[in-house]
Amino acid sequence: MAAATRGCQPWGSLLLALLGLVSAAAIAWDLTSLRCNFGTFCECDFRPDFQGLECDLAQHLAGQHLARALVVKALKAFVQDPAPTKPLVLSLHGWTGTGKSYVSSLLAHYLFRGGLRSPHVHHYSPVIHFPHPSNMERYKKDLKSWVQGNLTVCGRSLFLFDEMDKLAPGLMEVLRPFLGSSSVVFGTNYRKAIFIFISNTGGEQINQVVLEAWRLHQDREEIRLQELEPVISRAVLDNPHHGFWRSGIMEEHLLDALVPFLPLQRHHVRHCVLNELAQLGLEQRDDVIQAVLDSTIFFPEDEQLFSSNGCKTVASRIALFL
C-alpha cells in the first residue's frame, strides 16, 4: 500500500522556498555531500522526520499498536543518541500483508531525503541478491564487502533484509561483527547504522496468541510485547530455513527488538480499502468496500476472524470492483 502523506508533511521546506532560501539549502546540501566523501561520521541525506512518520503510521498502519509504538520508540531513542554504542537492529515478524514492508518503506521515506532511492538505503532480497544456495561463500564475501563499503561511504546507512525466512542459512553470520557493540569493525565505524530484518516467521504463533485473546474476550490493544517475544524467538530459533539459523545473531542478543505484526481483522481490511480509495482520489464507495471484503478469505474456518493476506491484495481487488 502506498504511503499517503497529505496532512502529515511538515511545511518547513515550503516556507524556506517562499522566503527565497532554496539556493542556500542547495549549497548546504552540496557541502553535506562533500563531507560525506571525507569521513565515516557524515549524516549524508539523513533527515529524520519523526512527526511525519508518526502521523503516517497513525493514519495508515491498521491494527498494529505494538509495532507502531515499538518502532517509533526505538528509532527516536537511537537517532537522538549522539554516540550510540551499537547499530539499531530490528526484526519485523508477522503474517503476510500485515504492514512489515510498508513500515520499512516509511522508515526510508522519513529518515532519508531520497527515501528508498537514497544511495544510503540498501534493500536486499534473497530472490534477487542471493538466489543460489550453492554460491553461499561468494555471497558471504559480497555481503561483507557491500556492508563495509557502504558504511565507509556513510555511517548513517539503512540496510533492509527482506524475506528472511527464504534466505539460505549461513549468510547472516557475516553480519554478526557489524551488529554488536564494538566501536570499529574492519576499520569502519558503523554504530549509527540501522538494520531491519523482515520475515513471516513467527506469524502463526502471533496469530494464535491473538486468537486466544479474542476467544477470552480480551481487547486486542491489551496484548503486550511480553506475550509475543518468547513465541517469536522460539519460532525463529527452531526454524532451520530462517536466515538467523545458527548465525549467532539471536543467541548473542544482537537484536534490539523483535517487532510483532498482528493479524488483520475485517475492520482493519476495511480501513485499508478506505486508504487506498483516498490514494486514488476517490470518495468512499460502500459497494467497493463490501465487494473487497466479500472477496477476502478469512480464517480460522470457524471464526472467520483474520484476513489470509492481510491488506496485501487490497489495491488489486479494488481495481476489479471500480
Q: What is the mean pLDDT of residues 177-192?
A: 83
pLDDT digits (tens, 9 = 90+) for 201-240: 999 999 999 999 999 999 999 999 999 999 999 999 999 9
Whether 63 has a binding-site annotation, put simply, is no
Looking at 26-40, 184-198, 285-299, which range is the least confident one? 26-40
Average pLDDT over residues 163-189: 87
Assess contact for 281 and 115: CB atoms under 8 A: no
Phi, psi of 91, rounded to the nearest 5 degrees: -120, 120
Task: Check the annotation: does 96 bind a ligand.
Answer: yes
Are the C-beta atoms of 49 and 8 separated by less than 8 Å?
A: no
Q: Which cell is 308 given?
A: 489470509
For residue 187, the model assigns a pLDDT of: 74
- For residue 47, give the H/E element and its range: none
Q: What is the pLDDT of residues 71-124, one digit of tens each?
A: 999 999 999 999 999 999 999 999 999 999 999 999 999 999 999 999 999 999
Taking a C-beta distance cutoff of 8 angstroms, is the pair 164, 202 a contact? no
Top pLDDT among 207 and 322 is at 207
Residue range 142-172, pLDDT digits in tens = 999 999 999 999 999 999 999 999 998 899 9
**pLDDT for the residue 168:** 85
Distance CA 71, CA 284 (A): 30
Would you say 11 is a known binding-site residue? no
The fraction of the chain above a pLDDT of 70, given in percent, is 86
- Is 134 within any annotated ligand binding site? no
Residue 28 pLDDT more than 50? Answer: no
Domain ranges of the chain: 50-261, 266-321
Has domain 50-261 been given CATH number 3.40.50.300?
A: yes
Q: Mind listing the pLDDT tens digit for each residue in 122-149?
A: 999 999 999 999 999 999 999 999 999 9
What's the rounded mean pLDDT across residues 162-185? 89
Q: What is the pTM of this model?
A: 0.87
98 is in an annotated binding site: yes
152 is in an annotated binding site: no
Annotated ligand binding at 248? The verdict is no
The pLDDT score that the predictor gives to residue 184 is 73
pLDDT of 194 above 50: yes
Cite the beta strand spans of the chain per DSSP E. Answer: 88-94, 121-124, 158-161, 184-185, 188-189, 194-199, 257-261, 298-299, 306-307
Determine whether the annotation assigns residue 313 to a binding site.
no
The pLDDT mean for the chain works out to 88
